[in-house]
């Protein structure tokens, strides 16, 4: 599916056109707390409501959203007779909105997790996403994560990828500095991991290359809060999302999730913590390559990542990633031996299969000691 990207220019002219052309009468607005900071967008929504289009807000969810949150959202969507969905926010808002779209035309109320095992039936509900962070790329992927009884549930469907994305750089103006840094790191790590993934294709590598170049080009402007920097980073994050939509992520992300839960680090912060150690380790250990395309292919791939970062080869690119991390002044958590034990057994083996170099428990443990040193 080709995704339409629109902007907020000319007083959200393209957004208004989307509503009219989609024949929308009542919209379910799935939004996180960032919606309160979008003054221009909220003012425009009030103008739209004056034309007779209703907005039904849904904010009954949390970070790491629950299956029950999605059930509640589907109930509101049905009872209110909504005919479109807009997601405004970060990855959690996107995931909830995706699942509401996916489950809204399934039978029943989803009791006991039944929707997780149902045969999905595609629908034509108009779905627009407006990311308020430049990082997750969730608006471009076929993945969503929700939790049932404390267990992570990965939901996958091409049918809930938003067909339209509204990229408004003004949504990032009030993003706190730490969240700016962390989400940018997430986008960069998505692009890098997708590039070296065993699942990479020529198409995915083109997305990855473009995303890496976009992050590098716009990093300073984004952190300085320029409009050009914010616009460029939104584009880069979306493009990185398109890359991982093809390849999925690899060991860096597999290793970062437990860091997030143990030390309350933001996801992108944890991702660059891992990748800034993993990348140089990979450059030195290509002889352990398990990518069927072979060691020479992997060496070339790592060099191409370095080139996309503006460096002469993979080794210099790996050093550049360390330099970026240090420049951002992100904290390195301190782990206890008990936590190291927990970390080394926490890694999702499926994600490790996507990684081009073999990783065993002993190696993972050594890497964690380097990551959190």
Lowest mean pLDDT among 8-12, 35-39, 87-91, 339-343: 35-39
Residue 351's pLDDT band (cuts 50, 70, 90): confident
From 171, 191, 224, the end of a domain falls on: 171
Are 125 and 262 in a shared domain? no
Are 205 and 124 in a shared domain? no
From 136, 155, 171, the end of a domain falls on: 171
Burial bucket for residue 23 (CB in 10 Å: 0-12, 13-18, 19+): exposed
**Token code pair at residue 300:** 């070339």
* Total number of domains constituting the chain: 2
pLDDT in tens, 118-162: 998 889 999 999 999 999 999 999 999 999 998 889 999 999 999
Are 10 and 131 in a shared domain? yes
From 108, 142, 171, the end of a domain falls on: 171
Are 227 and 353 in a shared domain? yes
- Give yes or no for residue 204 having a pLDDT over 80: yes
**Token code pair at residue 116:** 């997780």
Residue 371, pLDDT score = 98
Are 136 and 189 in a shared domain? no
Residue 1, pLDDT score = 67
Are 113 and 243 in a shared domain? no
Residue 121, pLDDT score = 85
Are 108 and 190 in a shared domain? no
Which one, of 179, 164, 367, 159, lies nearest residue 258 by Cα? 367
Q: What is the mean pLDDT of the chain?
A: 95
Pairing of strands 151-156, 143-148: antiparallel
Q: pTM for the complete prediction?
A: 0.93
User: Residues near 150 by Cβ (< 8 Å), separated by ≥ 6?
Assistant: none
Residue 21, pLDDT score = 96
Residue 228, pLDDT score = 97
- DSSP code string of 176-238: -HHHHHHHHHHHHHHHHHHHHSTT--HHHHHHHHHHHHHHHHHHHHHHTT-HHHHHHHHHHHH
Q: Residue 17 sits in which domain range?
A: 4-171
Q: How far apart are CA 151 and CA 130, in angstroms?
A: 28
Per cent of the chain over pLDDT 90 is: 92
Are 157 and 229 in a shared domain? no
Are 31 and 151 in a shared domain? yes
Q: How far apart are CA 85 and CA 96, in angstroms?
A: 11
Q: How far, in whole angstroms, is CA 226 from its chain's centroid?
A: 22
Given CA atoms 137, 138, 143, 149 in this order, what sign does their dihedral have? positive
Are 115 and 181 in a shared domain? no
Rg of the chain over all Cα atoms, to the nearest angstrom: 21
- Give yes or no for residue 111 having a pLDDT over 70: yes
Q: How far apart are CA 239 and CA 247, in angstroms?
A: 13
Are 76 and 202 in a shared domain? no
Are 63 and 151 in a shared domain? yes
CATH of the domain at 267: 1.20.1090.10
Per cent of the chain over pLDDT 70 is: 100
Q: How far apart are CA 362 and CA 368, in angstroms?
A: 10
User: Residues near 54 by Cβ (< 8 Å), separated by ≥ 6?
Assistant: 25, 26, 27
């Amino acid at each position: 599916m080709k995704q339409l990207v629109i902007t907020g220019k000319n007083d959200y002219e393209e957004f208004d056109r989307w509503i009219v052309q989609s024949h929308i009468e009542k919209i379910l607005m799935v939004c996180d707390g960032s919606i309160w900071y979008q003054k221009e967008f909220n003012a425009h929504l009030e103008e739209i409501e004056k034309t007779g289009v209703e907005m039904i807000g849904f904010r009954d969810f949390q970070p790491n959203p629950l299956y029950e949150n999605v059930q509640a959202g589907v109930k509101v969507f049905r009872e209110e007779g909504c005919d479109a969905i807009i997601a405004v926010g970060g990855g959690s808002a996107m995931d909830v909105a995706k699942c509401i779209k996916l489950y809204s035309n399934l039978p029943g109320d989803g009791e006991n997790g039944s929707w997780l095992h149902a045969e999905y039936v595609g629908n034509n509900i108009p779905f627009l996403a407006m990311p308020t962070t430049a990082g997750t790329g969730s608006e471009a992927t076929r993945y969503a994560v929700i939790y049932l009884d404390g267990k992570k549930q990965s939901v996958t469907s091409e049918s809930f990828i938003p067909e339209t994305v509204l990229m408004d750089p003004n949504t990032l103006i009030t993003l706190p500095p730490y969240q700016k840094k962390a989400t940018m790191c997430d986008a960069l790590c998505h692009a890098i991991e997708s590039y070296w993934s065993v699942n990479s294709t020529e198409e995915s590598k083109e997305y990855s290359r473009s995303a890496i170049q976009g992050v590098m080009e716009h990093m300073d402007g984004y952190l300085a809060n320029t409009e050009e920097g914010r616009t460029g980073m939104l584009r880069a994050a979306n493009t990185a999302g398109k890359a991982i939509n093809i390849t999925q992520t690899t060991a860096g992300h597999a290793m970062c999730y437990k860091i997030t839960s143990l030390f309350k680090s933001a996801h992108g912060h944890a991702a660059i913590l891992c990748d800034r150690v993993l990348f140089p380790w990979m450059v030195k250990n290509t002889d352990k390559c398990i990518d069927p395309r072979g060691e020479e292919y992997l060496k070339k791939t790592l060099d191409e990542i370095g080139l996309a970062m503006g460096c002469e080869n993979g080794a210099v690119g790996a050093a550049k990633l360390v330099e970026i991390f240090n420049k951002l002044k992100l904290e390195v958590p301190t782990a206890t031996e008990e936590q190291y034990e927990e970390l080394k057994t926490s890694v999702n083996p499926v994600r490790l299969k996507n990684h081009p170099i073999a990783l065993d428990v002993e190696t993972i443990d050594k890497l964690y000691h380097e990551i959190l040193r």
